[in-house]
Structure 1
Amino acid sequence: MNRDVTLRLLRYFETLGRELNYRRAAERLYISQPALSSAIRQLEGSVGARLFDRDTHSVSLTEVGREWLPHVRSALREVDSALDAAASIVDSARVRIGYLIGTGADLLFQLLDGVDQALPGLTVETTEFDFTDPSAGLASGACDIALLRPPVDVPDLQSVVVAEESWVACLPRTHRLAGRTELRIEELLDEPLVVAPGSAGVWRDYWMASDARGGRPAHVAAEAATYEAETTLIARGVGISFTTSSLRRLYDRPGIRFVPILDRPVSYTCLAWRPDRLSAPAWRLVQHLRDRIPATREHP
């Protein structure tokens, strides 16, 4: 038996063992059914035996699964008890929330409204991150929970959608396309771009529309780590950028124009966390915040 089994996998096993239904278990865990199936296969590989029998009509525990489940439940109770004890030792539990610049003003403080009353004794610290770290502190461990815009380079990330936005092009006021009411991405792929720093990784690639280029390199005119720097460069005519529709309201100013891009996928703003790294107070805050999000769903 491979004993390198994570707490997350044990929680997945316990939930599926209780529900005996992949859809319901995945909904309870706020993950997709394929992600749950993959996790169970990983756990079965570590244990060295099948834990569930599954056909088109039903899911049932194998003999190994039935005998092991009470031990897993007992272990999880002990872990939760230990985490709760650790939290109670601290006079004021501290949870660190990071948010990507441009998301906090609109969303974070709405989510945090009333937390003091709902979770007394919890101290919430918020930190704004610029484009050099679009994971908003999750990748480095600087934060426990983050409000961000996927995709980001963070393993084992779980998230729920807080908001959806469309793509817009941010153009200099004098740009030849600035008077248009709508654009398609193909019209913009040869334009000089103002982009995030290289440390942004896949997030930078996403906002360069790399998937639409068919291997063509982007013309990077400048890098900017904040929306202020980005819009200033664009107003000067250095280049254009691709961004979200909320920027029309938050950062509109003389010298730039925002034009909707019709044929790009939805951009999501998500509440995100790394389950294996959450303290008991942080997990309680995640649950509280998740309950405040209408029609909560996992990020696709």
Structure 2
Amino acid sequence: MDIYQLRYFLAIVETNNFSRAAERAFVSQPTLSTGIKKLETELGTPLFNRDARKISLTEAGRRFLPHARTIIYECNAAKSDVTRKSPVKRLQLGLLRSAPTLRVAALLNDFGKAHADIQISIKEGTASQLQGWLNEGRIDLALSIPPEETSDIQFIRLYTWKYTLAVPTNHSFANRNAIPLKELDGLYFVHRSHCEAATDLTRAFASAGVNPHIVFRTDQDEKALAFISTGLGICMVPDILTSPGITKVSVEGINIDRSIGLSWPKNKETDLIRSFQMFATSHDWQPDRLIGKNLDWAR
């Protein structure tokens, strides 16, 4: 099997015509047809249904198509990598699932503009997964909560969030400065199953004798915020999360926060990691935070 045969095959798939495929591949039609015949002989099966009016892939052709595309892609990538003047720099970033999507996207966009020669690969996971991947060398650094004190991981804080109550803007709680925890008993709640403070929040509710009614569980903040805004339920969320139609208020008796930052193995700090650190530490993490007396707390 030769590369040129795969290129002929893909040209026919893209044009649905042997003549146009030959033009695209810059060969004569007989040359292209001969190449496809040799490929089919080697594979031991026809790849195309040759109809007078229409050319279509056989079942074998459909199975072969993704493999052909992958091979051509890898060949092109290898050629590009070898011929470029400097090697590609790759940064493997682990991302906490509950990290604020819009702010992280803005950071990556700014970093990409300043470092066009660096390719970033993102792997999303829980805090424990990210720490494990760091230890295994599967990622270079992680944007997550602080690692366990016993780990050999370096950590730098980027920002701290406090847990507040998210309610629809037309909710009776929306215009109040703070809500006593007792008033949440029996109310409909949306539960963020990926919340890092779930255990602390559950313990605080239980200690106050508060038993919320969970109407929906999700590990996606976009869904949680959407359902809150429509009045399905209310939810304890990091105050950095924002969405139209939602107001956040403090809850008396709840003073739970989490620090988020960058983690990396202490003995593996590189220039690449230091470059990303510089951008991350100077990034505006909370431009849309609501500043008011109901969210006023010491940082």
Q: What is the TM-score when the length of structure 1 is the normalising length? A: 0.48
Larger relative contact order (Cα-Cα within 8 Å, sequence gap ≥ 6): 1
Q: What is the TM-score when the length of structure 2 is the normalising length? A: 0.48
Max Rg structure: 2
